Structure 1
Amino acid sequence: MSSLTARRIALVTGASSAIGAAICRQLAEEGCQVIAADVNLSGAQAVALSLGERVKPVMLDVTDPDAVAACIGQILKQYGRLDLAVNNAGVAGIGLDTGEYPLDEWHRVLGVNLHGVFYCMKYQLKAMQAQGGGIIVNMASMLGPEACWGGSAAYVAARHALVGMTQSAAREHASQGIRINAVGPGFIQTPTLAAIKPDDYAAMVGLHPAGRLGNASEVAELTCFLLSERASFINGSYYVIDGGYSAR
Structure 2
Amino acid sequence: MRMKGKNVIVTGGASGIGLASVERCLEEGASVVIADLEGGEGAARAAALDGRYAGRCLFKACDVTDTAQVDRLFAETVDELGGVDAVFNNAGIGGIAPSDEVSDDDFLRVIDINLNGVFRVARAALRVMYRQGSGSIVNCASILGMMGQSQTAAYTAAKGGVVNMTRTLGIEAAPKGVRVNAIGPGYIDTPLLAALDDELLQGLISLHPMARLGRPEEVANAFLFLASDEASFITGTTLMVDGGFTAGKS
Alpha-carbon shift at residue 203 of structure 1 (Å): 1.9
Q: CA deviation at 1:50?
A: 3.5
The answer to whether the 8 A contact 1:140-1:183 is kept is yes
Distance 2:123 2:8 in 1: 16
Asked if the contact 1:41/1:57 (under 8 Å) is kept, the reply is no
Residue 220 of structure 2: aligned partner: 220
Q: Which amino acid aligns with 1:13?
A: T
1:78 is matched with: 80
Query: SS at 2:41's partner residue?
Result: helix
Give me the whole-angstrom Cα distance separating, in 1, the residues matched to 2:160 and 2:211.
27
Matched residue, 1:24: 22
Letter of the structure 2 residue corresponding to residue 14 of structure 1: G
CA distance in 1, matches of 2:47, 2:11: 17
Distance (whole Å) between structure 1 residues aligned to residue 134 and residue 25 of structure 2: 18
Indicate the residue corresponding to 2:175 in structure 1.
Answer: 175
Count, aligned residues: 244
| Equivalences for residues 209-248 of structure 1 within 5 A | 209-247=209-247, 248=249
2:152 matched to 1:152? yes
- Structure 1's consecutive aligned runs of 4 or more residues displaced over 4 angstroms after TM superposition are none
SS at match of 2:179: strand
Distance 1:169 1:55 in 2: 28
Given candidates 63, 66, 74, the residue that maps to 1:64 is: 66
CA-to-aligned-CA distance 1:17-76 (integer Å, 9 cap, x gap): 210000000001111110000015431123213322321111100000011111111111
Alpha-carbon separation, structure 2, partners of 1:95 and 1:208: 23
Segment drifting more, 150-159 vs 203-212? 203-212
TM-score (norm 2): 0.94
Contact 2:6 2:85 in 1 (8 A): yes
Amino acid at match of 2:108: H
Structure 1 partner of 2:98? 96
Partner-residue secondary structure (3-state), 2:64: coil
- 1:188-221 deviations in Å (ceiling 9; x for gaps): 0001112111122122212221111000000000
Distance 1:150 1:64 in 2: 30
Please report how far the alpha carbon of residue 92 of structure 1 lies from its aligned counterpart in structure 2 after TM superposition: 0.3
| TM-score for the superposition, normalised by structure 1 | 0.95
Gaps of 5+ in 1: none
What is the root-mean-square deviation in Å for CA atoms of aligned residues? 1.3
Alpha-carbon distance in 2 for matches of 1:41, 1:228: 31
The one of 39, 42, 58 equivalent to 2:40 is 42
Contact kept in structure 1, 2:145 and 2:156, CA below 8 Å: yes
SS at match of 2:240: strand
**Gaps spanning 5+ residues in structure 2: where?**
none
**1:78-133 deviations in Å (ceiling 9; x for gaps):** 12211111100000013222x32210011100010011011111111000001111
- Aligned pairs for 1:160-171 (under 5 A) are 160-171=160-171
Report if aligned partners of 2:146, 2:246 keep a CA contact under 8 Å in 1: no
Moved more, 223-232 or 47-56: 47-56
